[in-house]
Amino acid sequence: MMRTEELELAQEWDKVFPRDERTEHCKVTFANRYGITLAADLYKPKSAQGKLPAIAVSGPFGAVKEQSSGLYAQEMAARGFLAVAFDPSFTGESGGHSRRVASPDINTEDFCAAVDYLSCRDDVDEGRIGVIGICGFGGIAINAAALDPRIRATASMTMYDMSRVAREGYFGAANSKEARDEQRRAWAAQRTADYRSGEYPRAGGVVDPLPDDAPDFVRDYHAYYKTLRGYHERSGNSTDGWNVTGTMSFLNQPLLSMASEIDTPVLLVHGEKAHSRYFSKGAFELLSGHNKELMIIPGASHVDLYDNFDAIPFDKLQSFFAEGLH
């Protein structure tokens, strides 16, 4: 097994969702190809025997495993899968320095490293492993599926294409060379300042308090990340966010450039009223083959698919992975 760094992991139940007694839970760690040790919560059906199909879950972008990804993993375990929810590199309880930076390459590798780990467990059928990516990690999960054929099925929930939003801004509002050059200059100046000071300032998490003119989707983020519903002290979205330069590499690295070559099943799920719905629509247009599906949840917002059991189609996810990981 690959050598891992010893991490400081909380042992108490500190999730934003209740524990499901239908499942067993433990903390695990595994290393990615860059030598970064990732922390994960592992959930499996209580009293399960034999080799199980497995799912790796991560996201939303800027969240931690104690939030939405853990909720998904625990529910999928209650439905018969072994599931891990992991903190991406540089975030949460996972290793990597500096903290609170994101990388299209390294975060894709994080999913592949989870597959490495699951493939080597005695209680996992290594030919039946899938992934679930939420929000910004929905796009990253698709990129991982395009790279790693061991991922036999992929679900992308309420996805953001982080490279597209970095490149174009929301709804294409900054989709020009001039706007991108302005952003490049700002990041370049910030890098010089950071190196000079020896510190990486944070960009800030979800805005708090809410301004009177906050868009509905920002209000939805606040209602999750800044209240008891979803607040977690290790979550960047709940606290002080990414580094100011933390997401800069997404600008030049289109995540979905090889999506058309995914041969395995892909399920895209989005809320009808989500501001981000166009990301799933764009991704679906890039996918090819008969085993790709875009599912729209009537009346649902972006954040409804974080934790709302009336909106998250867990029955569909169960059948999708049961069939895709057969």
State the alpha helices, DSSP H only, in the chain. 68-78, 104-119, 136-147, 162-168, 177-197, 216-225, 277-286, 304-307, 314-324
Rounded CA gap, 231 and 208, in Å?
A: 12
Is 217 among the domain residues?
no
**What's the pLDDT at 164?**
97
Tokens of 299: 């009346």
Is 295 among the domain residues?
yes
**What's the pLDDT at 85?**
99
**What's the pLDDT at 217?**
96
Number of independent structural domains in the chain: 1
Angle at 255 between CA 254 and CA 256, to 5 degrees: 100
**What's the pLDDT at 135?**
98
Is 35 among the domain residues?
yes
Range of the domain at 60: 23-171+253-324
Instruction: Please state the separation of Cα 135 from the chain's center in Å.
Output: 6
Output the average pLDDT for the chain.
97
**What's the pLDDT at 245?**
97
**What's the pLDDT at 4?**
87
Greatest Cα-to-Cα distance within the chain, rounded to the nearest angstrom:
59
**What's the pLDDT at 1?**
73
Q: For residue 285, is pLDDT > 80?
A: yes
User: In the structure, what pLDDT confidence band is assigned to residue 291 with cuts at 50, 70 and 90?
Assistant: very high
pLDDT digits (tens, 9 = 90+) for 78-95: 999 999 999 999 999 999
Is 225 among the domain residues?
no
Q: For residue 286, is pLDDT > 80?
A: yes
User: In the structure, what pLDDT confidence band is assigned to residue 237 with cuts at 50, 70 and 90?
Assistant: very high
Bridge-partner residues for 28, per DSSP? 40
Is 216 among the domain residues?
no
Is 311 among the domain residues?
yes
User: In the structure, what pLDDT confidence band is assigned to residue 69 with cuts at 50, 70 and 90?
Assistant: very high
Q: For residue 3, is pLDDT > 90?
A: no
Is 10 among the domain residues?
no
CATH of the domain at 288: 3.40.50.1820
pLDDT digits (tens, 9 = 90+) for 98-136: 999 999 999 999 999 999 999 999 999 999 999 999 999
Is 133 among the domain residues?
yes
* Mean pLDDT, range 179-202, rounded to an integer: 98
User: In the structure, what pLDDT confidence band is assigned to residue 216 with cuts at 50, 70 and 90?
Assistant: very high
Rounded CA gap, 263 and 203, in Å?
A: 38
**What's the pLDDT at 289?**
86
Give the β-pairing of 37-45 and 23-31.
Answer: antiparallel
Instruction: Please state the separation of Cα 256 from the chain's center in Å.
Output: 15
* Mean pLDDT, range 316-322, rounded to an integer: 98
Angle at 129 between CA 21 and CA 3, to 5 degrees: 90
Rounded CA gap, 184 and 245, in Å?
A: 10
**What's the pLDDT at 40?**
98
Sheet holding 266-271, edge to edge: 23-31, 37-45, 82-86, 52-58, 124-134, 151-157, 266-271, 292-297
User: In the structure, what pLDDT confidence band is assigned to residue 61 with cuts at 50, 70 and 90?
Assistant: very high
**What's the pLDDT at 2?**
81
